[in-house]
Structure 1
Amino acid sequence: MLRFMFVGDSMTIGSAGEHTWRYRMWQHLRDTLGDGGFAVVGPRDTLYDQSAGEPLSHDYADADPDFPRHHLAGWGEGWLHMAPRVAGALARDPADVLLISLGLIDLGFYTNAEQTAANVRAFIGRARSARPHIRMVLLPVIPNIRAESDAPFAAEVARFNELLAKTVADLDTGSSPLLLASSPPSYDIHLDTYDGTHPNTSGEHKLAGAFADALGQAWGIGGPYAPLLTRPTG
C-alpha cells in the first residue's frame, strides 16, 4: 500500500467550506488505485478558519466519511517552515510519496529565489533522513495575482522555478526519486481561483490533475486525471 502525504501552504490546507485539491486527488487515487491501494497520512487534519485566523476548522465541503483529511499544510507556511518539520512528520506518519506545493508564500514574504531553493534542498535532505526511500513530486509556483501585476515578483517566481527544476535534477536518485510536476497548462487565475491565488472548484481539479498526471506518466501510479466534466463540480 502506498502512503501519500500532502505538503503545502494555504492553497493546500484550504479554508472552511472548501473541498480542497487534496479531496480531488483522493478521489482520483481511490478511482485508480482502489480503496485498499493507498492511504493518506499526515500530522494535521484541519482547514484554515479565516474568521478566527487559525487552522481550527473541520468544515470540509464534502462530508464523505471516507475522505482522509490528513496533511502537512499550513496557511502562511512555506519551504522555510516545512523544512524543519518534515522529518518529524514522517517519523510520526511514515509516507512513501510526498505531494508538495510550496514556494509562493516564501517568495512573497520570507525569502528570495536562491534562499527558497536552498530551503528546498534542506527539506529534501531532512525528508530523506527520516525516510531514505521517500519519493517526492514537486509542483512549481503556479500563476498568481501578484505575479500578474508585479514584474519584479514575477521574475523572482520564474527564477525560483528554474532553480527548482535544477534542484530536482541535481538531487534525484534511484533510491529516492524526485519528480517535477508541470504547472497546469490551462490554469487561469481569473477562472480557477476565487481571489487570484487560492483555487476554486476548477482550480482544485487542475492542481490535482497536475500531480495525478505526473504520477501516472513518470511512475505508473494511477493514471490520467479524469476530465473535469466527469467529476462532480460541487
Structure 2
Amino acid sequence: MLRFMFVGDSMTIGSAGEHTWRYRMWHHLRDTLGDEGFAVVGPRTALHDKATGEPLSHDYADAAADFPRHHLAGWGEGWQHLAPQIAGALTRDPADVLLVSLGLIDLGFYTNAEQTAHNVHAFVERARAANPRIRLVLLPVIPNIRAESDAPFAAEVARFNELLAKAVANLDTGTSPLLLASRPPSYDIHLDTYDGTHPNASGEHKLAGAFADAMAQAWGIGGPYAGVAARPEAVTRPEAAVTRPTG
C-alpha cells in the first residue's frame, strides 16, 4: 500500500464549502489503485474557515463521501513554514509519496527566489531524514493575479520555477526520486480560480491531473488522469496585489 501526503498552502488546504484538489486526487487514486492500494496520511484534517481566519472547518463540499481528509497544508504557509515541520509530520504519519504545491506565499510575502529555493533543499533534506526512501512530486508555482500587475513579483516566480527545476535535477536520486510536475497548460487563473489564486472546480481537477499524470508517466503509479478537465502534460524529468497572505 502506498501512503500519500498532500503538502501545500491555501490552494491545497482549501476553505469551507470546497471539494479541494485533494478530493479530486483521492477519487483518481481510488479509481486507479483501488481502495486497498493506497492511504492518505497527514497531521491535519481541517479546511480554512474564512469567517474566523483559522483552520477550523470540516465543511467539505462532499460531506457524505468517505474521503480521507488528512494533509499537511495551511493557509498562508510556504516552504519556510513547512520545512521545519516535515520530518515530524513524517515521523508521526509515515508516507511514501509527498505531493507538494508550495512557493506562492513565500515569494509573495517572505522570501525571494533564491531564499525560497534554499528552503526547498532544506525541506527535502528533512523529509529524507525521516524517510530516506521518500518520493516527492513538486508542482511549479502557478502565478496568480498579482503577477499581472506586479512585474517584479512575476519575475521572482519565474526565477524560482527555474531554480526549482534545477533543485529537482540536483536532488533526484534512485533511492529517493523527485519529479517536477508540469503546470497544466490550459490552466487559466481567470477561468480555473474563483479569485485569481485559489482553484475552483475545474482548477481542482487540473491540479490533481498534474500530479496524477506525472506519477503515471514517470513511476507507473495510477494512470492518466480521467477527471472532467483536460489533462496537462505529465512531467518534466530531472535534466538539467493582495494585502494578506493568500497562498
Shorter-chain TM band: over 0.9
C-alpha separation between the residues in 1 aligned to 2:205 and 2:78?
22
Deviation for aligned residue 1:229: 6.5
Aligned to 2:71: 71
Aligned to 1:18: 18
- Matches for 1:97-176 after TM superposition, within 5 Å: 97-176=97-176
C-alpha separation between the residues in 2 aligned to 1:156 and 1:229?
29
Contact 2:206–2:229 (CA under 8 A) maintained in structure 1: no
- Matches for 1:1-234 after TM superposition, within 5 Å: 1-228=1-228
Gaps of 5+ in 2: 231-247
Secondary structure of 1:87's aligned partner? helix
Secondary structure of 2:48's aligned partner? strand
C-alpha separation between the residues in 2 aligned to 1:17 and 1:6?
19
Report % sequence identity: 85
C-alpha separation between the residues in 2 aligned to 1:29 and 1:99?
13
Residue-pair matches, total: 230
RMSD: 1.0
Contact 2:9–2:76 (CA under 8 A) maintained in structure 1: yes
Contact 1:143–1:188 (CA under 8 A) maintained in structure 2: no
Stretches (4+) displaced over 6 A: none
Task: Please report the TM-score for the alignment, with normalisation by the length of structure 1.
Answer: 0.97
Contact 2:141–2:157 (CA under 8 A) maintained in structure 1: yes
Task: Please report the TM-score for the alignment, with normalisation by the length of structure 2.
Answer: 0.92
Deviation for aligned residue 1:65: 3.9
Deviation for aligned residue 1:143: 2.9
C-alpha separation between the residues in 2 aligned to 1:6 and 1:229?
20
Gaps of 5+ in 1: none
C-alpha separation between the residues in 1 aligned to 2:38 and 2:136?
16
C-alpha separation between the residues in 2 aligned to 1:87 and 1:229?
34
